[in-house]
Structure 1
Amino acid sequence: MVSAVYHDYSSFANTTTFTDVYSNFNQIPELNIFEKLWGSYYYYINHDLFATGLLFFLTHELMYFGRCLPWYIIDRIPYFNRYKIQETKIPSNREQWECLKSVLTSHFLVEAFPIWFFHPVAEFINISFQVPFPSLRTIGFQLAVFFILEDAWHYWFHRGLHYGVFYKYIHKQHHRYAAPFGLAAEYAHPVEVSLLGLGTVGIPLVYGYFTQNLHLFTINTWIILRLFQAVDSHSGYEFPWSLHHFLPFWAGADHHDEHHHYFIGGYSSSFRWWDYFLDTEAGPIAKQKREHRMKLNAEKSKVA
């Protein structure tokens, strides 16, 4: 059996190492370095289902904990306390350790199974993993679509998890930390992990099914960006260079920190528009604005 990552191996020399495989792919002029590495990886593993499962699992673990590590270090450096949104609530090493154990358990018992069997699902709905990749324009467009659709999914299901029994028995676990930190991004009940995670993974699958134009590289890139967004929004830090200062519609840590602080409002993941237009922004400033609008509307009613 030979990997289906490329359509023509007729010019390839015999290989025994990954370096040999890369040398073969390096002779294909139309492939860029990322496509050559991608093709070499699949060809070397020579088992596409296993290769995709391993790639996606390692990507998730390395990117998630790799992005959490800088925030853990920042939490230990007093200089950065001035940028902490809830400046007196620095997570202790014990809190970090307890959170880490829970997140790792979730990764191996809840998320690992669907990750390892993602390839046959993708193959069934004709999601490509072959080289070359789609154009940068196509990848960029699809990533934007995923961000927008996932944000809508997250808003409505996250908001639903704040009602009654759903909050008490499911979402309350995630709100254990009123002052969030990076590692707590995926600290959640298994039902919540599955429900909100379905937006991250399911939306690309549905998109791929209907368009028949999606690549596993794009999905892998999307997962990396979504992980970074989730960890950063839980970091608990507001910097002068934070992204929302340049993209006002971007949510960021200040938006999500208020959600954890006040336990209500601020339900979106990546953007601010759902909370803005549906009047569910969190925090005292948003509350004052709502009260001011209510007062103005009451005065208008009296005049009328």
Structure 2
Amino acid sequence: MTEIFNSTTLNNVNAPSFGQIVSNIFETQKQLNIIEKLWASWYTYMQNDILATGLLFFLTHELTYFGRCLPWYLIDKIPYFRRWKIQPSYIPSDKEQWECMKSVLKSHFLVEALPIWAFHPLCKRLGISVSVPFPSLKTMCFEWCLFFILEDMWHYWAHRLFHYGPFYKYVHKQHHRYAAPFGLTAEYAHPIEVMSLGFGTVGFPIIYAYFTRDLHLFTITCWVCFRLLQAVDAHSGYDFPWSLHNFVPFWAGAEHHDLHHHYFIGNYASSFRWWDYTLDTEAGPQAKMDRERRAKLKADKTAKKRI
């Protein structure tokens, strides 16, 4: 079993129940915050790091994903919110929600479960820590921002590739079954797409850990949760006045990704707008008009130079 505590020892580690272990750690480890105490209690109670990490990752993934999908399902049932629906003429039926949910669950158990359960041995080889205390908030924020930027870059190019010929026909077409996305469709995709785009979420923390030998599993767990929340919200189909992109201009969000599903091309990035803006792959009528305007200005400028 991995040493959970970096600089302290735990009394009565053989406590028979989880409640007793929690109580013991809360009483003896005053220097830890609440989340660190619960984290340490979990690993101490499980006494099996592979099982503890696998179960932690799997349950966190399921609770975060479906927990975030539930509010969007309820919002779809309330007519009041239709004023903020990006494509108000389409509301997913219960049958579509259920079919999508079954497909996503199947993918979770048959495609994602094995890598999740095999993750702890990889953590040990890469020096990914599970001990407490956690890294500083400043360190974790830097790593979360870095992972968001790297994942967005990977997602843009991989997603753009999936819109090419056979990749779209045999793989990515499944994800585009719904031209008006809803929360559950975030992970409704072909297994090849799940694995390849999923690399952007898990692969970069692995690469980062390989080179730095200084990454905590809690940082990765939070990052996966943030990425899941972003993916579900981007597929929600709603654009509220309080949506993040209205305050952070380079954030993508549902308004950005919904155009991708509606027009089946453009807006390939996941979290940010800069790749699509810089490479001129923005989707929608407004983006098309802007491209035509820029092309006309460029043509006029070239014509004046010739004169």
Q: Shorter-chain-normalised TM-score: which range?
A: over 0.9
- CA apart distance, 1:19: 1.6
For the residues of structure 2 that align with 1:303 and 1:14, how far apart are their CA atoms? Answer: 84
1:179-227 per-position Cα deviation (integer Å, ceiling 9, x unaligned)? 0000000000000000000110010000011111100000000000000
Question: Does residue 1:11 correspond to 2:11, yes or no?
Answer: yes
For the residues of structure 1 that align with 2:298 and 2:193, how far apart are their CA atoms? Answer: 38
Q: Which residue of 2 aligns with 1:73?
A: 74
1:229-266 per-position Cα deviation (integer Å, ceiling 9, x unaligned)? 00000000000000001100000100000000000000
Gaps in structure 2 of 5+ consecutive residues: none
User: Which amino acid in the other structure matches residue 45 of structure 1?
Assistant: M
- CA apart distance, 1:59: 0.3
- CA apart distance, 1:14: 4.5
- From the superposition, tell whether residues 113 and 294 of structure 1 become closer, same or farther in structure 2 (CA, over 3 Å): same
Q: Which residue of 1 aligns with 2:251?
A: 250
- TM-score, normalisation: structure 1: 0.98
For the residues of structure 2 that align with 1:114 and 1:143, how far apart are their CA atoms? Answer: 21
| Aligned pairs for 1:1-304 within 5 A | 2-7=1-6, 8-9=8-9, 11-12=11-12, 14-26=14-26, 27-304=28-305
User: Is the contact made by 2:10 and 2:25 (CA closer than 8 Å) also made in structure 1?
Assistant: no
- TM-score, normalisation: structure 2: 0.97
1:242-298 per-position Cα deviation (integer Å, ceiling 9, x unaligned)? 000110000010000000000000000000000011100000000000000111111
User: Is the contact made by 1:256 and 1:266 (CA closer than 8 Å) also made in structure 2?
Assistant: yes
- CA apart distance, 1:9: 3.5
User: Which amino acid in the other structure matches residue 17 of structure 2?
Assistant: T
User: Is the contact made by 1:150 and 1:203 (CA closer than 8 Å) also made in structure 2?
Assistant: yes
User: Which amino acid in the other structure matches residue 19 of structure 1?
Assistant: G
- CA apart distance, 1:44: 0.3
- CA apart distance, 1:16: 1.2
For the residues of structure 1 that align with 2:216 and 2:110, how far apart are their CA atoms? Answer: 27
- CA apart distance, 1:25: 1.4
1:52-107 per-position Cα deviation (integer Å, ceiling 9, x unaligned)? 00000000001000000000000011111110000111111111111011101000
Where 1:57 maps in the other structure, the secondary structure is helix
Q: Which deviates further from its counterpart, 63-72 or 4-13?
A: 4-13
| Consecutive aligned runs of 4 or more in structure 1 exceeding 6 Å deviation | none
For the residues of structure 1 that align with 2:10 and 2:181, how far apart are their CA atoms? Answer: 54
User: Is the contact made by 1:35 and 1:131 (CA closer than 8 Å) also made in structure 2?
Assistant: yes
For the residues of structure 2 that align with 1:24 and 1:256, how far apart are their CA atoms? Answer: 48
For the residues of structure 1 that align with 2:295 and 2:186, how far apart are their CA atoms? Answer: 35
For the residues of structure 2 that align with 1:251 and 1:257, how far apart are their CA atoms? Answer: 10
User: Is the contact made by 2:13 and 2:44 (CA closer than 8 Å) also made in structure 1?
Assistant: no
Q: What is the total number of aligned residue pairs between the two structures?
A: 303
- From the superposition, tell whether residues 79 and 30 of structure 1 become closer, same or farther in structure 2 (CA, over 3 Å): same
For the residues of structure 1 that align with 2:143 and 2:231, how far apart are their CA atoms? Answer: 19
- CA apart distance, 1:11: 3.4
- From the superposition, tell whether residues 227 and 35 of structure 1 become closer, same or farther in structure 2 (CA, over 3 Å): same
- CA apart distance, 1:10: 5.5
Where 1:213 maps in the other structure, the secondary structure is coil
- CA apart distance, 1:20: 1.2
User: Which amino acid in the other structure matches residue 287 of structure 2?
Assistant: A
User: Is the contact made by 2:174 and 2:189 (CA closer than 8 Å) also made in structure 1?
Assistant: yes
- CA apart distance, 1:24: 2.2
For the residues of structure 1 that align with 2:29 and 2:303, how far apart are their CA atoms? Answer: 76
1:150-207 per-position Cα deviation (integer Å, ceiling 9, x unaligned)? 0000000000100010011000100000000000000000000000001100100000
